Structure 1
Amino acid sequence: MDDQSPHVVEIIRRIREGSTEPFLCRCDDNLLYVVKSMPEMPRRQLIAEFISACLVSDIGLPFPEFTIVYVPEELLEFTPDLRKQINAGYAFATRYIENAVSLSFAQSRNDSIIPLNDQKVFRL
């Protein structure tokens, strides 16, 4: 990794939606990110998240911008509770989208929730 990665400067709150319960963080680029890190997520799952984001981007599906961010040790130094939930070092992050909600797979295929023209289907 290089020093071009945004650095987390504030951990705002835990996002309780979804199974991974990531953190909403502000980085030194003054943007908000949804940050996923060990130990809450196993390394294998973080790698899968990153690869999935790359594939989604490559095939042109809508997806928030994503990057790798750096969580400084100093940010966690005086917060022992956070040290058990997020590791210092590099983490996977997507740009935070205000008012976005999580949908189940079944909800995403429901025409009354997402109009058919807005649904994207990728078939092999």
Structure 2
Amino acid sequence: MNSLDIRTVDVVQYIAPLREGGSMPGLVRADDDFLYVLKFTGAGQGKKALIAELIGGELARLLGLKVPELVFMNLEDTFSQTEPDEEIQDLLKFSVGLNLGLHFLSGAITYDPLVSEIDSPTASKIVLLDSLMSNIDRTAKNTNLLEWKNELWVIDNGASFYFHHNWDTWENHLTRTFPLIKDHVLLAKAKHLEDAAQMIGEKFTPEALENIIASIPEYWLEDDAVALSPDEMRAAYLKYLNAKLGMLDQLVKEAKDAK
């Protein structure tokens, strides 16, 4: 099993918190001199949100959707020592080590369903992908989509794969559809769901999925409170994705009925 070629960079400057994000990510500069939105392992949903962000982002990229580059980011303890805000100080302190960064799209604006344009094939791919990975956070209230340089960019997939928040019952999710697709911000514009399903079936090969899952850092999968080992968790993510691929027709029908 090979992993994706994801770069690792070091954080050299903590610039500001992005308080509009639920987990309060930070705007940082890395040693490659680029700006990134840093997602912290010490935030609310912790490592699980970063795992979902990584898998979801790379699945979207497989479908040809625009996704900011994802990088692994090393964070040292020095930043917490100079931060005056106690909440951010704790966040930095509890996130020392390997975190996840998304390339910062300077000047991007939030997708507005009332005024923004999107073509139906793109909307269909996003809707069906979110259904497949049980993403509960792409609604009109919080679209997690950006417009940048006249293109639509998919961000913030951290609320996906919510089965992994309770490993004791994760297998119960293998046969479930995703009724919450009814709240998806792009559902009304997703008129090419069958075409999206065909593309997902073609692009999500066993090798492609294995490469994405193999890219999850071992550290993010280590959890003393869970009986599963990191390798068993990787196998579980693969089993979940393959189960959903076998349910694509059901997911398409559910989305169409939800309209």
| Normalised-by-shorter TM-score class | 0.7 to 0.9
* Aligned-partner Cα distance in 1 for 2:120–2:49: 31
Q: CA deviation at 1:43?
A: 1.6
Q: Provide the residue aligned with 2:19 in structure 1.
A: 16
Contact (CA 8 Å) 2:15, 2:29: kept in 1 or not?
Answer: yes
- 2:33 is the counterpart of 1:30: yes
What is the SS of the residue equivalent to 1:7? strand
- 2:56 is the counterpart of 1:48: no
Q: Provide the residue aligned with 1:58 in structure 2.
A: 62
TM-score normalised to the size of structure 1? 0.79
* Aligned-partner Cα distance in 1 for 2:24–2:36: 13
2:110 to 95, 98, 102: 102
Higher radius of gyration, 1 or 2? 2
2:78 to 74, 81, 88: 74
One-letter amino acid of the structure 2 residue matched with residue 92 of structure 1: L
Cα root mean square deviation, aligned: 2.2
Q: CA deviation at 1:101?
A: 2.8
Deviates more, 1:81-90 or 1:29-38: 81-90
CA deviation string 1:15-58 (max 9, x = no partner) = 12232321000001100000011221422111111111111111
Larger strand proportion of the pair: 1
Q: Provide the residue aligned with 1:84 in structure 2.
A: 90
* Aligned-partner Cα distance in 1 for 2:21–2:30: 22
Q: 1:115 to 1:52 in 2, by over 3 A?
A: closer
Unmatched runs of 5 consecutive residues or more in structure 1: none
Q: Provide the residue aligned with 1:6 in structure 2.
A: 9
One-letter amino acid of the structure 2 residue matched with residue 85 of structure 1: L
* Aligned-partner Cα distance in 2 for 1:113–1:78: 41
RCO higher in structure (CA 8 A, sep ≥6): 1
Identity of aligned residues (%): 24
Question: How many residue pairs were aligned?
Answer: 116
CA deviation string 1:74-112 (max 9, x = no partner) = 232343733312311111110001111334xxx34x4x3
TM-score normalised to the size of structure 2? 0.41
Q: 1:100 to 1:118 in 2, by over 3 A?
A: farther
* Aligned-partner Cα distance in 2 for 1:102–1:84: 29
* Aligned-partner Cα distance in 2 for 1:115–1:5: 33
* Aligned-partner Cα distance in 2 for 1:30–1:57: 24
Larger helix proportion of the pair: 2
